[in-house]
Copies of this chain bind each other. A is one copy, B any other.
Amino acid sequence: MRNAFLLALLLPGPAFAQSAVAPIDAVDPMIGTAGEGHTFPGATAPFGMVQLSPDTDTGCEIRACYGHAAGYRYEDPTIQGFSHTHFSGAGHSDLGDVLVAPQAGTARLDPGDPAKPGSGYRSRFDHASETARPGYYAVTLADGGIRAELTAGTRTGVHRYTFPAGTPAHLVIDLRSSLYNYPGKILWSGLHLRPDGTLTGFRETRGWAPGRKLYFAMRFSAPLTGHGFVDRDAAVTYKGFQGPGRGSEAVAEKLGKALEAQLDFGTLAAPLEVKVALSGVDEAGAVANLEAEAGGFDAIRARTAAAWTQALGAVEIAAPAPMRRTVYTALYHALLAPSVWSDADGRYRGPDDQVHRADGFTFRSTFSLWDTFRAEHPLLTLVQPTQTTVDVVRSLVASRRFSPDGILPVWQFAGRETWTMIGYHAAPVIADAYLKGIRGFDADAALDAMVASADYAPYGGLGDYIARGYVPIDKEPEAASKTVEYAYDDWTIARMARAMGRDAIAARFEKRAANWRNSFDTKTGWLRARLSSGAFRTPFDPTAINYGSDYTEGNAWQYSWFMPQDQAGLFRLLGGDAKAIAKLDAMFDYDNSKLDYSHAEDIAGLIGQYIHGNEPSHHVAYLYDYAGAPWRTQERLAQIVASQYKPTPDGLAGNDDLGQMSAWLVFTALGFYPVAPGSNEYVIGRPFVDRATLNLPDGKRFIVVADGLSATNRYIAAVTLNGVPLARSYLRDAELRAGGELRFTMAATPNKGWATGRAARPFSMTAR
């Protein structure tokens, strides 16, 4: 019976899936470039080290910078140039390295005023001239009449510029340009024109990552007819002795804090290709990375398109075009980070700023773990179970080995720790992978790293947390959030330790996993910050959101739900299922009309006190399942998807946060969500696509079908798993990985009897 059923799955799907455009053509990288998304539209390979993308504005002070965290804002009228590194959806920023500004006729060395065309190297542009596809971006720079195309391999970016016929072609490389470019950010930089015509260089910056080093190598399809290296720094006390070419800018090497290169190519008969490789190790590493990726623009574009086709092919989706576009773009955004950081030869610059070698894996960085432990990493365990997930775990463990503090990354990029956000959420990422059976890393070293991170007293009030069972707010800010997130992380450590037979560790951390209770005010029903004295801090306002307050980018409304390891315990404290449901409803239905959160950058996408634009809310809509009311989850999901995601530039309600906002949608579209990574369970919501196939290793396929799905048919009437009715509101990870079919029958009215019983509810409501 079962075998015959599986055989049937191999037959072709419905006709409308066949006729849809290829996944790569369904992706629209412009989604999220307006509004709050902070995504970039430029060219990148899956998890690529290079994100080659237009910067519309970089010259901004801190608050104005926020909107330009990814360099590009859809509503800006001009493009300054194209730089090689960008975060996808970060709420803080840096990068924008090695800005290239093509210039026709006259080379200008300053970006100029957007309101004064021709005042600098920036140019006006029209969205009608733009094309953005995975691994490809093109735009016409109107002021110079230059057609600019970008593509990227893993460690290279390739620019192709078509200059107007008969006009001298120039490039300006502005090493002063950067995102979040505070005064004093550029510590040192260098330009070096090698005898073979390769331009190499480097930059050291004091930005979000302190003392970050980035090296580059650049080759051109046409010979230079001239070059000038200029130092725009007027405040050099001691200039040293003059090297060869004194009085000229045509020197072979220049060092300084405000360097620019002007490169002249004369009048070109063919488009100019500029191939650029990056390295975190050294200039030789950049040259080797450049040579490791053979070919020019078209070859690299084709290879990267093939890589995207393969990566996006992990999920086959059938849905109406707008939803399909939205979900495939979400999958695309989920496949950008953690990005490659080691060189082609395996060397990388680690958290100690020293060069190490990744032996047998590719070192990844850009870990936005407070965001991504929730759904992004669980998604990667399904769509990139070996390549990326194993790399991620090995990179986290290697990072801990070379961490000056001896702990796992918190928010790391370019190999450097930034200490942004809270928790030790590398622990759930590793535990989730291990518990799902993913191997290929040293589990003992990983567990040791998790324990060391959880026991490191100087970090985030952990000394007090360990001693008292909660983080006291008079000693450490954001104490309420830290207490509950630490307790969850502790639970994941315990789960992994138990699975490994490391029972002493398991027992200790199982005990710590209950610490969320120590910061929960049972009288009021809120998670609250406590003082060292044991008293809850007053005054207390569950709607207050302030940086450095009792909570992390949130308030009691959001944080009072964060105990994924023990929702049963929470619900008991709240007084049972009905009261939990009432409180969930109160959250979604809260009248915000008298509140102002404009001071808190990350607070966007509000549905009452549910804030989809930031992560602490992300699991909350699924909690109705825990209370035995899955139809209410189904309603809320419809409300969220409809209001928070659109296939347009302003289509993301909040920062994509390195794929977390997007991974939420990919899971939700498929009909389930990992509320408690480490539990090996996915909580069933409802599907938003007609059909989806997860292509798993060894040719296994897990197929989701939503029979009768429509705007009206938004409720689950029935569910079968491999043809057998499914009476519970969760799926097991092993069920997915085995392959099979999950079939939903959708209806216009809720099935209030499905999965209501206690045994049918997700993890922690029953002992598993």
A241 proximity list for chain B (CB < 8 A) = 208, 411, 418-420
Q: Is the CB of A182 within 8 A of B354?
A: no
Decide yes or no: A282 and B355 within 8 Å by CB, A244-B459, A419-B243, A420-B241 being known contacts.
Answer: yes
Q: Are B252 and A404 in contact (CB under 8 A)?
A: yes
- By size class, the interface of chain A is 35 or more
Q: A248 at the A/B interface (Cβ < 8 Å)?
A: yes
Query: In residues 697-755 of chain A, which contact B (Cβ within 8 Å)?
Result: none
B211 pairs with A190, CB closer than 8 A: yes
Is the C-beta of A251 less than 8 angstroms from some C-beta in chain B? yes
Check if B352 sits within 8 Å of A283, measured CB to CB: yes
A206 within 8 A of B: yes
**A246 CB, min distance to chain B CBs, angstroms:** 8
| A188 sits at the interface (CB 8 A) | yes
**B244 with A458: CB separation less than 8 A:** yes
- 8 A-B contact pairs sorted by A residue (CB < 8 Å): A62-B238, A241-B418, A243-B417, A243-B419, A252-B404, A282-B355, A283-B352, A283-B353
Q: Are B404 and A192 in contact (CB-based, < 8 A)?
A: yes
Complex: A24 Cα to B255 Cα, angstroms: 43
A501 — which chain B residues lie within 8 A by C-beta? none
Closest chain B residue to A421 by CB distance? B241
State the Cβ distance, A244 to closest chain B Cβ, in Å: 4
Distance of A211 Cα from B456 Cα, bound (Å): 36
Give the Cβ gap from A162 to chain B, nearest Cβ, in Å.
32
Chain B residue at minimal CB-CB distance from A253: B404
- Known: A237-B182, A282-B355. Contact between A405 and B190, CB under 8 A? no
Distance between Cα atoms of A459 and B283 in the complex (Å): 24
Shortest distance from the beta carbon of A445 to any chain B beta carbon, whole Å: 15
CB distance from A476 to the nearest CB of B (A): 8
Which residues of A approach B to under 8 Å, CB–CB?
A: 62, 180, 182-185, 187-188, 190, 192-195, 202, 204, 206-208, 210-211, 235-238, 240-245, 248, 250-253, 255, 282-284, 352-355, 404-407, 411, 417-420, 456, 458-460
User: In the complex, given contacts A192-B404, A252-B405, A282-B354, what are 16 additional A-B residue pairs having Cβ atoms less than 8 angstroms apart?
Assistant: A180-B238, A182-B238, A184-B235, A184-B236, A184-B237, A188-B211, A206-B238, A208-B241, A241-B411, A242-B419, A243-B417, A243-B419, A244-B459, A244-B460, A253-B352, A282-B355
Q: Which residues of B lie under 8 Å from residue A184 when comparing CB positions?
A: 235-238
**For A240, what are the chain B residues with a Cβ–Cβ distance below 8 Å?**
206-208, 210, 418-419
A284 neighbours in B (Cβ, 8 Å):
354
Q: Given the known A-B contacts A238-B182, A244-B460, A419-B241, are A255 and B352 also in contact in the complex, defined by CB atoms under 8 Å?
A: no
Q: Are A204 and B192 in touch, CB under 8 angstroms?
A: no
Q: CB-nearest residue of chain B relative to A205?
A: B188
B-chain residues with CB within 8 Å of residue A282 when the two chains form the complex: 354-355
Residue numbers in B under 8 Å from A404 (CB-CB): 192-194, 252-253
Residue of B nearest to A248 (CB): B458
Docked Cα-Cα span, A182 to B238, in Å, equals: 7
Tell me, rounded to whole Å, the shortest Cβ–Cβ distance linking A218 to chain B.
15
Whether the Cβ atoms of A244 and B456 lie closer than 8 Å is yes
Closest-by-CB residue of B relative to A192 is B404
Residues of B within 8 A of A235 (CB): 184
Instruction: Write out the residue numbers on chain B whose beta carbons fall within 8 Å of the beta carbon of A237.
Output: 182-185
Q: How many Å lie between the Cα of A211 and that of B190 in the bound state?
A: 9
Contact B352 A405 (CB under 8 A): no
Given contacts A241-B418, A404-B253, contact A352 B188 (CB under 8 A): no
**Complex Cα spacing A63 to B53, Å:** 49
Measured in the bound complex, the distance between the Cα atoms of B404 and A456 in whole Å is 46
Q: Given A206-B238, A237-B183, A252-B405, A352–B192 Cβ distance below 8 Å?
A: yes
Q: Once the chains bind, are A255 and B211 in contact (CB under 8 Å)? A: yes
Task: Tell me the complex Cα distance, A180–B248, Å.
Answer: 27
CB distance from A255 to the nearest CB of B (A): 5
- The minimal Cβ–Cβ distance linking A66 to chain B, given in whole angstroms, is 14
Bound together, the chains give a CA A195 to CA B403 distance in angstroms of: 10
Chain B neighbourhood of A354, CB < 8 A: 282-284
A32 to B611, CA, bound (A): 73
* Chain B residues near A406 (CB-CB < 8 A): 195, 252
A606 to chain B, nearest CB (A): 26
Query: Chain B contacts of A243 at CB under 8 A?
Result: 405, 417, 419, 459
Q: Is A458 in contact with B251, judged by CB distance below 8 angstroms? A: yes
